[in-house]
Structure formats: C-alpha cells, structure tokens
C-alpha cells in the first residue's frame, strides 16, 4: 500500500485572484493589487533626495564630505559613486538601494546624474521596486589649503626634501616618471628642483606623510622628521607647526660597480665582493658578474651596513669585442637573461696606439657578438681608492667588467632626428644654483631616454606618449638604425589634452553660428 501511495504525486498550483482596482488576474499578495496599481497608490521614493548640492574644489579636484573630509575622485569612478551614495543617506529612509549607475552628462555642466533603483516592503509580504534619478549639483568652493596657497604660495605646512648624494640626476628622472604615473604629487603646492634632489611642499602634514610613504615603496629610503613652531594661541591652546621630512635615497644606481663590505658580503652568503647593481626599487638587486649569483638587499639591510659605489656609469669605457665564446647555457635571473662567456676585448681608444687585448669573463654572452661595441669598467687602468676594497687581502681584480652593449655607432645615423615618443614632466621651479648646469642636465636626460629604449623592464612603470610632432622619414634606408633599440608603438599612449578639445569644440560652434 505504501508503494502504491508513493506512485501518486500531488501537484501544488498557485491560484490567481483579480486585482481589486483594475480586475486583471494576478498572483495573490497582501495588498490584492497588481504592481501597476500598487505603484499608483504608493510612491516609495517620496521623501528621498532628488537634488543634492556637493562642494568641489577645482584647484585640487576634491569633493567635500562633511564636515572636513576631502575625497579625490574622477568622473564616473567607483570612488565618486560611493561618495554620492553616502550623500543620499538612504538607510534612514528604510529603502534598499539596488544597482545604482551614472547617467552621462556633459563634463562641464557641473551636474552629476545618478539612476537609483530602490526596493522597499510596503505591506506585509509585498515588496515594491522603483527607479528614480538624483541630480547632484556641483558648486565650486575652494578648500582651506588651496585658499591659503592662493593667498600666499609660501604658506606650506609640510615639506619633503628628497636627496641623493651622487653627481647625476638619473634616479630623479626615473622617480619623476613614477610620481607622474601614480599622481603622487597631486597635492603638492610647489615643487622645486634643488642641488642633489627635489623639494615638495604640501598644505598639510598628512599629504607630506603620504608622499614619503610612496617614495619608500619605490626606493629603499630612510627619513627623519623635524617640526618648527610657527604660532601659538594661548587662549585656545592651539599650536601651528611646519613639518620637514628629510628623505635620503641610497647613492647606489643601476649599472654601478660595488665592492661589498665584508659584513654585508657574509650576510649575503659570501657574495662578490665585486657586484653590479642591476635594478633599484624598494630593494637593491645585486649580481655577481663572474658567477651569476643574484640577491636582493632591502632597505634595512642596506642602512645597517651602508656602502658606496666603487665606479659609476659615468666612468664607463667603450670596448670592441674581438671574439666571444659561450661557456655556460643561458639562464634567466630576476626576469633578465644572462649567459656566461669568455671574451676578447680591446679599448676603442687604444686603436692605432697599442695592441693591448683583455681576456675577460662576461655575463653578456647572449647579446654580444664579434665586432660589437660594449661599455665596461676599466679596472686595469683605474685608480681605485676604496676602503672596503682594501679590507680584502689578496683579492685579484679582473681587468675589465663589461656592463652592457653599446649602440652608439647605430645611433650616430639617427642623431638629430626626433623620437616617436615623449615623456611628461613635473612643473618644477629651478633653484638658482642649478641654472648654470642646464647643459649637463640635458646630457643626463638624453642618457635616461636611451636607457628607456634599451631596457624594457625599466620602462615598465613609465608612461610613454606618442609624439605628435614626429614624422617618419620616407627616405630612411633599410639599415638606418639597424639593431638599435626602439620603443614599440604598442607601448605608447595617446596624449589626450582636454583643453585642446574644448578649443576645437568652441571653434566648431563659432563656425556653425557664422554659417
């Protein structure tokens, strides 16, 4: 009997009722009204904000979240959407927000429209969903820090003094591009180029502190903070200070030859002692050019036993490769390819004067060929006076350490021609002591551009833009710039200038009126 009873299945059906107003069939609910009639009777958007005024500072591009918080957000961004939803304060109205989205408006209309879909339980078991549009009116009002700057540009609260005690500015050229890409200096009141560094001035201590944290993520820095009392109100017991962050960057740059102190070499597994700096981020990457041993040195390790470079990239000498023989298979270390090889090289300056040939071991066997030119450190003729080097008794120095392949001969054919790409730069004031070194700085900047062309890893964090003034020559030969490194077109970004678009739009409108 149980089996026979199991064979019968009772299907449950939902009955339908007639709407008490329009009489159409519908599924039953607590109100006994269809959705259309329920919406005509009840408006769940009643009492909700339909028009909201928001305060915007055009100087620093921030919105005011009462009472004092400033929020930086781009149009139609997630940050701006969250800010607009918080301004509506829908929780007090008892409605639930579903799928908010922006409605496109003209960028210069000072209006932001947001389509909101809200859901609310109107009767027992009856849930109603309705959409409406909220218009946010953007009123321009300058924030306190920007007001002080407009009144007196010297009224800064915090200054960040970046310093690197070296004779070139290669590090600051790269750091400038990192700051531009991440918009780290957007809150800076003034930027001033100083000797061996850059000064950044901010309107509040928090902005300066945030910038110091950013620099610490891209370089192994150390810093100290000082403050100076500006004024003191005895009645309210308020103090006004000016804060100064002194940030020091290690005097170690890419392609520098370093002699590690014995203490540091032991802590790194008896590395070196002669190593090459291949990359500087928040860590310093060191490579033994004779054994291809590789390690990273973080900021704490460096500042515990700080050291300087034995030779820098400004002391590189040009060599020509006479012969090369691979002695070990190619390996990839830290994302870069290397191959150990025995090479015969001679200084280009010795041609026609003597027959000195050097037999060296190099890690550039994968790219060097007989007849190529290379840049390296001449330890055979260098007069080194380093304290750390004297600590290693009986150390035999190699005569030459090759650093990179040279493309100077290839570039001679393209000298004077503009590049197909360009970089942006910070709006910096130049200190009076730096005005006479413009020629030296232009030379260092040209070398930085060449480094970007040669090293794809170096330009990974740099934004390159198309140069609109560049016009490729139709008469260029096939061998023009052969093997010379270039930046692929797919890595270039279009430099969009909104001011130019506005001018074009205004001109088109004027032409239309004239017609």
Task: Average the pLDDT over 5-21 and give the result.
Answer: 68
Instruction: Determine the pLDDT at residue 477.
Output: 39
Q: Is the pLDDT of residue 3 over 60?
A: no
Q: Is the pLDDT of residue 11 over 80?
A: no
Instruction: Determine the pLDDT at residue 199.
Output: 93
Count Cβ atoms below 10 Å from residue 159 Cβ, excluding itself: 20
Q: What digits encode the pLDDT tens for the residues 226-240?
A: 999 888 888 888 888
CA–CA distance, 84 with 71 (Å, rounded to integer):
11
Q: Is the pLDDT of residue 506 over 50?
A: no
HSE-up (13 A, CA, CB side) for residue 157: 18
| E strands present in 169-282 | 188-194, 197-202, 222-233, 238-248, 257-259, 274-280
Q: Is the pLDDT of residue 499 over 50?
A: no
Task: Average the pLDDT over 126-135 and give the result.
Answer: 84
Task: Average the pLDDT over 102-114 and give the result.
Answer: 89
Instruction: Determine the pLDDT at residue 501.
Output: 43
Strands of 188-194's sheet in order across? 222-233, 238-248, 158-163, 197-202, 188-194, 429-430
| E strands present in 27-125 | 51-57, 62-65, 69-72, 96-103, 111-123
CA–CA distance, 73 with 82 (Å, rounded to integer):
10
- CA-closest candidate to residue 366, choices 332, 334, 316: 332
Task: Average the pLDDT over 12-39 and give the result.
Answer: 76
Instruction: Determine the pLDDT at residue 321.
Output: 92
Q: What digits encode the pLDDT tens for the residues 173-218?
A: 999 999 998 888 888 888 998 888 999 998 889 899 999 999 999 8
Find where tokens 């309107």 sit: 203
What is the band of 453 on the pLDDT scale with cuts at 50, 70, 90?
A: confident
What is the band of 245 on the pLDDT scale with cuts at 50, 70, 90?
A: very high
What is the band of 412 on the pLDDT scale with cuts at 50, 70, 90?
A: low
CB 406 within 8 A of CB 364: no
- CA-closest candidate to residue 201, choices 148, 164, 163, 155: 155
Average pLDDT, the chain: 81
What is the band of 476 on the pLDDT scale with cuts at 50, 70, 90?
A: very low
Instruction: Determine the pLDDT at residue 376.
Output: 92
Q: Residue 381: CB partners within 8 Å, gap ≥ 6?
A: none
Q: Is the pLDDT of residue 225 over 90?
A: yes
What is the band of 435 on the pLDDT scale with cuts at 50, 70, 90?
A: low
- CA-closest candidate to residue 340, choices 290, 295, 294, 396: 290
Instruction: Determine the pLDDT at residue 475.
Output: 41
Instruction: Determine the pLDDT at residue 356.
Output: 87
Q: Tell me the pairing of strands 421-422 and 400-406.
A: unpaired
Q: Is the pLDDT of residue 500 over 50?
A: no
What is the band of 503 on the pLDDT scale with cuts at 50, 70, 90?
A: very low
Instruction: Determine the pLDDT at residue 393.
Output: 83
Predicted model pTM: 0.69
CA–CA distance, 188 with 176 (Å, rounded to integer):
13
* φ, ψ for residue 304, nearest 5 deg: -70, -35
- CA-closest candidate to residue 158, choices 182, 181, 185, 178: 185
CB 360 within 8 A of CB 400: yes
Instruction: Determine the pLDDT at residue 276.
Output: 93
What is the band of 111 on the pLDDT scale with cuts at 50, 70, 90?
A: very high
Q: Residue 99: CB partners within 8 Å, gap ≥ 6?
A: 117
């Amino acid at each position: 009997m149980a089996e026979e009873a199991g064979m019968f299945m009772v299907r449950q059906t939902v009955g339908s009722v007639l709407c008490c107003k329009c009489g159409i069939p519908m599924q039953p609910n607590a109100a006994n009204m269809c959705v259309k009639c329920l919406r005509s009777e009840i408006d769940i958007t009643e009492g909700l904000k339909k028009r909201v005024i928001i305060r915007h500072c055009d100087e620093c591009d921030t919105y005011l979240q009462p009472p004092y918080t400033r929020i930086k957000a781009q149009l139609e961004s997630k940050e701006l959407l969250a800010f607009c939803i918080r301004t509506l304060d829908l929780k007090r109205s008892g409605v639930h927000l579903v799928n908010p989205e922006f409605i496109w408006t003209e960028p210069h209309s000072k209006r932001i429209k947001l389509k909101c879909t809200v859901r609310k339980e109107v009767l027992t078991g009856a849930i109603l969903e309705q959409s409406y549009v909220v218009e946010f009116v953007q009123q321009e009002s300058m924030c306190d820090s920007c007001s002080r700057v407009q009144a007196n540009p010297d009224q800064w609260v915090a200054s960040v003094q970046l310093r690197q005690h070296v004779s070139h500015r290669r590090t600051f050229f790269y750091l400038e591009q990192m700051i531009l890409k991440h918009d780290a200096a957007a809150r800076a009141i003034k930027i001033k180029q100083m000797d061996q560094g850059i000064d950044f001035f901010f309107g509040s201590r928090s902005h300066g502190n945030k910038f110091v944290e950013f620099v610490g993520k891209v370089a192994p820095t150390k810093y100290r903070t000082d403050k100076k009392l500006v004024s003191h109100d005895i009645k309210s017991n308020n103090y006004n200070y000016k804060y100064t962050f002194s940030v020091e960057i290690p005097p170690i740059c890419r392609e520098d030859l370093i002699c590690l102190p014995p203490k540091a070499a032991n802590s790194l597994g008896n590395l070196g002692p002669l190593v090459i700096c291949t990359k500087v981020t928040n860590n310093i990457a060191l490579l033994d050019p004779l054994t291809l041993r590789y390690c990273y040195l973080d900021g704490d390790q460096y500042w515990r036993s700080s050291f300087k470079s034995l030779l820098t990239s400004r002391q590189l000498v040009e060599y020509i490769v006479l012969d090369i023989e691979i002695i070990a298979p190619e390996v990839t270390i830290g994302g870069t390819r290397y191959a150990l090889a025995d090479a015969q090289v001679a200084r280009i300056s010795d041609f026609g004067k003597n027959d000195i040939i050097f037999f060296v071991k190099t890690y550039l066997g994968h790219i060097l060929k007989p007849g190529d030119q290379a840049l390296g450190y001449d330890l055979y003729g260098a007069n080194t006076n380093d304290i750390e080097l004297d600590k290693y008794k009986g150390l035999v120095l190699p005569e030459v350490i090759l650093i990179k392949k040279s493309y100077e001969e290839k570039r001679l054919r393209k000298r004077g021609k503009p590049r197909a790409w360009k970089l942006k730069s910070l709006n910096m004031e130049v200190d009076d002591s730096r005005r006479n070194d413009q020629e030296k700085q232009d030379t260092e900047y040209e070398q930085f551009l060449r480094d970007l062309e040669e090293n794809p890893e170096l330009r990974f964090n740099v934004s390159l833009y198309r140069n609109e003034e560049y016009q490729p020559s139709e008469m260029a030969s096939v061998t023009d710039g052969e093997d010379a490194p270039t930046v692929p077109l797919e890595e270039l970004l279009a430099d969009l200038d909104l001011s130019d678009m506005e001018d074009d739009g205004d001109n088109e409108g004027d032409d239309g009126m004239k017609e």
